[in-house]
Structure 1
């Protein structure tokens, strides 16, 4: 497995080597990758690097779509509100 700062366990790199991998499997690997980062690295910092490293060279791979999705989700505004937003002062 390739080790680097943004893919410490080599999970993303290995996913690109798996023949016939499907999107669901890529999402599972992505979740494992995100959980393995712990507090040492911000995914917002790592995802653009991984996208440029892998998704740009293999745009049709299912993991490329998952990485792009992850980037979009991190940039999307968080839902605000809940019961406190509905309370009248």
Structure 2
């Protein structure tokens, strides 16, 4: 990914996501760590799901669908919605 992509600095504080796409041999565990650092630095006024979608629009395409950061961003987008369906167990049945 040699071309320079301009992203709103509020979406990518410190350029963490941008730089992650430049790291050769980046693994999933490293991408998750970078994602966590990114999430901690994200402006609390920004909706994380919107920020992730915008980052994916910029970085996730361009032949990067299999890049570990694209996978982590996509996974993070799905997990923002919390658990789906019934959790099970006696506490769930009692409403505790």
Q: Smaller-chain TM-score range? A: 0.7 to 0.9
Q: CA deviation at 1:41?
A: 1.7
Match of 1:10 in 2: 15
- For 1:1-89, list aligned pairs within 5 A: 4-57=9-62, 58-77=64-83, 87=94
Moved over 4 A (4+): 76-81, 83-88
Runs of at least 5 residues in structure 1 that lack an aligned partner in the other structure: none
Runs of at least 5 residues in structure 2 that lack an aligned partner in the other structure: 1-6
TM-score by length of 1: 0.79
What count of residue pairs does the alignment treat as equivalent?
87
Give the alignment's Cα RMSD to 1 decimal.
2.5
Q: CA deviation at 1:85?
A: 5.3
**2:54, 2:18 → 1: CA distance?**
12
